[in-house]
Amino acid sequence: MSKRPRKPSKPLLIDENLPLQSRRVRRRDPEQPHLPFDPMPDRVEPCLALLKSKPPQGDEWSYEIKWDGYRIAVHIEPNRIRIITRGGHDWTHRFPGIADAAKALGPVTMILDGEAVMLDEQGRSDFGLLQKSLGASGKAAGKLPSRDSILYAFDLLYLDGHDLRGLEYSARRHLLEDALDEPGGTIRVSEEFNADPDDLLAHACRLGLEGIIAKHRDRPYRSGRTGDWLKIKCIQSDSFAIIGYEPSTALPGAIASLLLGARYRDGYKYVGSVGTGFKHDEARRLKKMLDKIKTRLPVDKVPGKNLVMTGPMYVAEIEYRAWTNDGKLRHASFKGLRDPDDVSEIYRLPG
């Protein structure tokens, strides 16, 4: 039995002088059945940057600005948005603006890795502004949403049914830029800079930024502090436990300085005090908070008189220039309290 002759097709109407173009690739619908999707993980332990004194050189490294805020992962699903902190807490209710912007991205499933920040008038991320917006100290701790915060997304871990963590960073970065192609909104791509890293770091320091991040282009996404990502800071900033305070003699009902402790072996060790970075109202509020957790148990030998010791319940983010020879912080400044529901890793001393 012979086949019917095929109807002649219409000639292709192509101008040979025009470049070839293809239609935009449509994303697969994650709700279609019988497709080999990777399940979206409930939570991804974040990749953390290893601190280095100098940026690495080489074409295998990518460079961007280090943002000063809260590390979050935004899980976008067809019927819900979840914003998960580095510590695994659900803070969707605390970043409603970011959640609304994520919902507006359309029918897509993805996990964005990034930093929730507040920008000052010069466009610099300001941890103190973010803490004030969140009400992360005093009676308002853990209750206020931050409506003006934005997300700087710097990695894409999952997209439309595909787990991307096994891909090299350069491929994930390309997909991220395609997924978020509208600059200037509440969710933005953290810009990648094609510049000499030493010059980029110097420029960041001149602008008063915290530093830069270097990422190895050929590495998959690996949780923990593996060395795939490096951070190079202009000014050191770490989290320390508050182990007491020195009362103010000039301002009644306020603190003069906070006593700071770092993790050491199975306990804490005194690493100095901080007496700058907070205003009068905050100095009074800190004293009221700390007076509720007074203790007679000394953490370590702490020099000074009329000191009030407390349990290490609260954690402060401290900016400092260096360490002294006897293991104390030099030129420390108080940036804010870390949220009690999501305490970052407290600085650990070797030994």
Q: Which residues are catalytic?
A: 66
CB of 111 closer than 8 Å to CB of 75: yes
User: Per-residue b/e over 85-97, b at no fewer than 16 CB within 10 Å?
Assistant: bbeeeebbebbeb
The residue type of 29 is D
CB of 168 closer than 8 Å to CB of 153: no
Residue in this structure with the two tokens 């097709």, named with its chain if needed: 9
272: β partners = 260
Residue in this structure with the two tokens 């290490």, named with its chain if needed: 312
Three-class SS of residue 279?
coil
Q: Tell me how far the alpha carbon of residue 270 is from its chain's centroid.
A: 27
Say how far apart CA 146 and CA 143 lie, in whole Å.
10
151: β partners = 116, 187
* Cα separation of the two ends of the chain: 87
CB of 324 closer than 8 Å to CB of 340: no
Say how far apart CA 51 and CA 225 lie, in whole Å.
9
